[in-house]
Amino acid sequence: MAHIFWVEDQSHWVEKFSAALSSGDFDGQDNQLEVFHLTDSAKQYIAQASRAPDIAILDANMNGNDSAGFAVAQALQKKWPDLPIIYLSEHSGTDIEASAFERTQPHDFIAKHQRNVEQVLCWRIKAILRQRQLTHAAAAQTLSRGELTIDLQTWDVYWRGVKLMNPNNPKRALAPTPRKILKHLVEVSPRAVGTLAMAEALDADPEKFSSANYRQHIRTLRSAFDYAEGGASSFTARCKTGSGIITAGDQGAYAWSTPK
């Protein structure tokens, strides 16, 4: 079910598009359509709502005010920055459309006066929601902190877009254990993780996973980051100043602190 937030001040346009929006096959279920005729009531709903709609459709010019739709868009974007917005307007190809893209960066601006406009609107909505679904699915398969990304499917680690490799043999991938250690440190950051806690997280034998082993894996990770940055030990140097993979306390614990 697609939850559609729609602001339109003219009743004949609401009548024209309501059926298509209510029954449009966006995800195989009937849709929930929230319609507002006034910008004030729309903004009041935004302020009180606890859950974001899936998409917003706005008129740009309402009641003679060329900026009325922009005010609603800005309220939506302030509360839900990733919410897709479409303008459905009689002012396509005018300065109002130019202002809409300049001020609110919508996903689309659709002219009301065009052939098969109901179908066009539904096609665009379906495409936007599908792309959003794919984006969310991809995000769920990665763990990201700043410029660090860990692919949870392949376990590949990327720093500033560069894949981390074995610093002793850059033609080979980084070994699994350092990657698992980094993943756990990132997941629990800023909390520090000691040797026993890390052994438990890795499901490793605590008698074999010693503080020396842990320390060597941390060195390998820092060196891999250094190599990704060009091999100048710049990442390791930042770790010593509290950024990156930092040493915490005197008990052989380490933590991830996302570099700024």
pLDDT-derived band at 26, boundaries 50, 70, 90: confident
Q: What's the Rg (C-alpha) of the chain?
A: 26
pLDDT of amino acid 131:
86
Nearest C-alpha neighbor of 229 from the set 182, 163, 145, 185? 163
CA distance 220 to 194: 17
Mean pLDDT of 195-203: 93
pLDDT of amino acid 231:
84
On the question of pLDDT at 31 being above 70, the answer is yes
Mean pLDDT of 91-99: 90
pLDDT of amino acid 139:
64
Output the average pLDDT for the chain: 91
Domains and CATH numbers, the chain: 3-140 (3.40.50.2300), 142-257 (1.10.10.10)
CA distance 95 to 77: 22
pLDDT digits 0-9 by tens, 34-70: 999 999 999 999 999 989 999 999 999 888 888 889 9
On the question of pLDDT at 138 being above 70, the answer is no
DSSP 139-159: HHTEEEETTEEEETTT--EEE
Instruction: Please give the residue that has the higher pLDDT: either 250 or 105.
Output: 105
pLDDT of amino acid 206:
87
Mean pLDDT of 193-211: 92
Mean pLDDT of 4-19: 94
- pLDDT above 70: percentage of residues in the chain: 97
